[in-house]
C-alpha cells in the first residue's frame, strides 16, 4: 500500500516533468500577467491622478464602509482573480488529458514506460490524479502568491492613505477562508468533472491520431444527430442530449465554489443584502459533493477509465 502510494507519487511527478507548461508555467504566467496589468493600471493612474490622491481617497472611503460591505468587496475582488486561474486551468487540463495516453504512443516512448514494472491501471490513475489533485494544488499556489502580492500593493497605498491596513484590507479579505474553500472546492470540482476528464483520457487511450478532435467531435456529432432525429421525428427538441449534458457539466464547473444563485434570487425577493457567503460557502460545496448528479458522474467516469485501462493494456507503438 505504502509502496503503491510512493510509486503513484513519482508517476504524478513525472506528469509535471513531462508537461511543465500545463502545470508549472501557466500559473507563473498568470501571476505575471495579473501583476503587470495591476502595475500598469497604477502607473497610468498616477499619470491621471497625480500622487494617487483619488486612489487614496477611495481607499479611505473603503475603510469607512460597513464591515459587511468591506468583506464582500475585498474578498470578492480577490476571489475573482482565482476564477481566472481556474478557468485557464480547466482549459489547459483538457489538452493535457487528451494527450496523456496518446503522446507516448506517437513517439514510441510507450515501449520504455511499458518496460517498467508499472501496471496500466497505475499509469491511467497517475494521469487522472495529476489533473484532479496536482493541478489544483499548483494553481492554488499561484492564486495564493497573486493574492498576497496584490494585497501588499494595496497595503503600501493604504499606508500612504493613513488607514489601518490590517482591519481595512487584510481582515476583510479573509484569505485563510478563501484558500481553504478553494482547496476544498477545487478538489470537489475535480470529482465533479471526472466524467469529462475520463472521457478525454478514454479518447486518448485509443485514438489513432488527434485525440482532442475526436473527444470533441464524437459528442458534437451525437448531440447533433439526437437533435435532428428528435426534431424531425417529433417536431420538438430532444429531452436528453449528450452534448448539452456535457456542456452543462463543464459550465457548472468553471470555478471551485459555484455561486449561490438561489441566494441572489431570495435576497432580491426578501431584500437581504448579499454577503461574501454568495461565493464563499462551504455548505454549498458540500451539498454539491453529496448530490446525486455528482456520483452518477463519478460512476460514468470510473467506467470510462476502466475502458481506458483496457485500451492501454493493448496499446503499443503502432
Partner 1 sequence: MTATIHARDLARRYGSTVALDHVDLDVPAGRIVGLIGPNGAGKTTALKAILGLTRFDGTLEVLGLDPSKDRDDLMQDVCFIADVAVLPRWARVWQIIELTEKLHPRFDRAICMKYLARTKIKHKSKIRALSKGMIVQLHLALVMAIDAKLLVLDEPTLGLDILFRKQFYSNLLNEYFDEQRTILITTHQVEEVEHILTDLIFIKDGKLILNDTMDDIYERYTEVMVKPGDVDEARSMNPLHERVLFGRHIFLFERADVSRLDELGEIHKPSVSDLFVALMGDRAADAEAHADIEGVRA
Binding site for partner 1 (CB under 8 A): 6-7, 10-11, 14, 17-18, 104, 107-120, 122, 313-314, 316-317
Closer of 7 and 227 to partner 1 (Cβ) = 7
Cβ proximity to partner 1: between 12 and 135 the closer is: 12
**Grid coordinates belonging to 261:** 444563485
Closest approach, Cβ 21 to partner 1, in A, equals: 11
Give min distance, CB of 209 to partner 1, in A.
18
| Interior angle at CA 154, CA 153 and CA 160, nearest 5 | 100
In the complex, minimum distance from the CB of residue 119 to partner 1, in angstroms, rounded to a whole number: 4
- Which among 253, 251, 283, 92 has a CA at the least distance from the CA of 186? 253
Please, what is the minimum distance in Å from the beta carbon of residue 121 to partner 1? 9
Residues with Cβ < 8 Å from 269, sequence gap 6 or more? none
Q: Tell me 290's DSSP state.
A: T
Evaluated on CA atoms 43, 81, 196, 138, the torsion sign reads: positive
Q: What are phi and psi of 163, to 5 degrees?
A: -110, 160
* Alpha helices (H) along the chain: 2-18, 20, 26-48, 53-63, 67-100, 103-106, 110-113, 120-129, 135-160, 165, 171-173, 175-192, 194-206, 211-234, 242-251, 261-270, 282-289, 292-314
Which of 47, 314 has the CB closer to partner 1? Answer: 314
Which of residues 10 and 237 has its CB atom nearest to partner 1 in the complex?
10
Quick one: CA dihedral 32, 37, 41, 43, positive or negative?
positive
Torsion of CA 220, 226, 227, 231, to 10 degrees: 160
Q: Distances from the Cα of 49 to the Cαs of 60, 152, 161, 203, 289, in angstroms?
A: 16, 21, 14, 55, 48
CB of 117 to partner 1, least distance (A): 4
Choice between 104 and 260, CB closer to partner 1: 104
Complex with partner 1: residue 154 or 315, whichever CB lies closer: 315
- Give the nearest distance from C-beta 126 to partner 1 in angstroms: 11
Q: Which is nearer to partner 1, 26 or 146 (CB)?
A: 26
Q: How far is CA 191 from CA 38, 218, 294, in A?
A: 34, 23, 8
CB of residue 316 to partner 1, shortest distance in Å: 5
Q: What's the min distance (Å) between Cβ of 301 and partner 1?
A: 23
C-alpha count within 13 angstroms, C-beta hemisphere, residue 180: 6
261 within 8 A of 274, measured Cβ to Cβ: no
Amino acid at each position: 500500500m505504502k509502496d503503491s502510494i510512493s510509486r503513484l507519487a513519482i508517476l504524478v511527478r513525472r506528469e509535471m516533468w513531462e508537461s511543465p507548461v500545463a502545470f508549472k508555467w501557466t500559473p507563473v504566467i498568470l501571476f505575471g500577467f495579473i501583476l503587470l496589468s495591476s502595475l500598469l493600471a497604477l502607473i497610468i493612474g498616477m499619470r491621471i491622478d497625480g500622487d494617487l490622491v483619488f486612489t487614496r481617497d477611495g481607499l479611505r472611503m473603503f475603510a469607512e464602509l460597513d464591515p459587511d460591505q468591506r468583506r464582500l468587496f475585498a474578498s470578492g475582488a480577490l476571489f475573482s482573480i482565482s476564477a481566472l486561474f481556474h478557468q485557464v486551468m480547466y482549459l489547459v487540463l483538457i489538452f493535457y488529458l487528451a494527450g496523456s495516453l496518446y503522446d507516448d504512443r506517437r513517439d514510441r516512448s510507450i515501449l520504455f514506460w511499458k518496460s517498467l514494472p508499472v501496471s496500466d491501471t497505475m499509469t491511467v490513475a497517475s494521469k487522472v490524479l495529476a489533473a484532479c489533485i496536482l493541478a489544483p494544488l499548483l494553481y492554488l499556489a499561484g492564486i495564493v502568491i497573486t493574492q498576497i502580492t496584490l494585497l501588499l500593493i494595496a497595503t503600501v497605498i493604504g499606508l500612504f492613505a493613513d488607514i489601518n491596513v490590517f482591519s481595512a484590507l487584510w481582515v476583510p479579505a479573509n484569505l485563510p477562508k478563501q484558500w481553504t474553500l478553494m482547496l476544498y472546492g477545487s478538489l470537489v470540482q475535480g470529482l465533479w468533472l471526472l466524467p469529462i476528464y475520463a472521457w478525454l483520457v478514454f479518447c486518448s487511450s485509443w485514438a489513432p491520431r488527434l485525440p482532442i478532435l475526436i473527444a470533441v467531435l464524437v459528442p458534437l456529432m451525437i448531440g447533433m444527430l439526437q437533435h435532428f432525429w428528435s426534431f424531425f421525428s417529433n417536431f420538438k427538441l430532444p429531452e436528453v442530449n449528450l452534448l448539452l449534458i456535457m456542456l452543462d457539466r463543464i459550465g457548472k464547473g468553471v470555478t471551485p465554489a459555484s455561486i449561490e444563485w438561489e441566494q441572489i434570487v431570495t435576497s432580491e425577493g426578501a431584500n437581504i443584502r448579499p454577503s461574501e457567503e454568495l461565493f464563499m460557502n462551504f455548505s454549498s460545496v458540500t451539498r454539491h459533493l453529496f448530490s446525486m448528479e455528482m456520483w452518477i458522474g463519478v460512476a460514468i467516469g470510473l467506467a470510462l477509465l476502466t475502458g481506458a485501462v483496457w485500451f492501454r493494456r493493448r496499446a503499443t507503438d503502432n
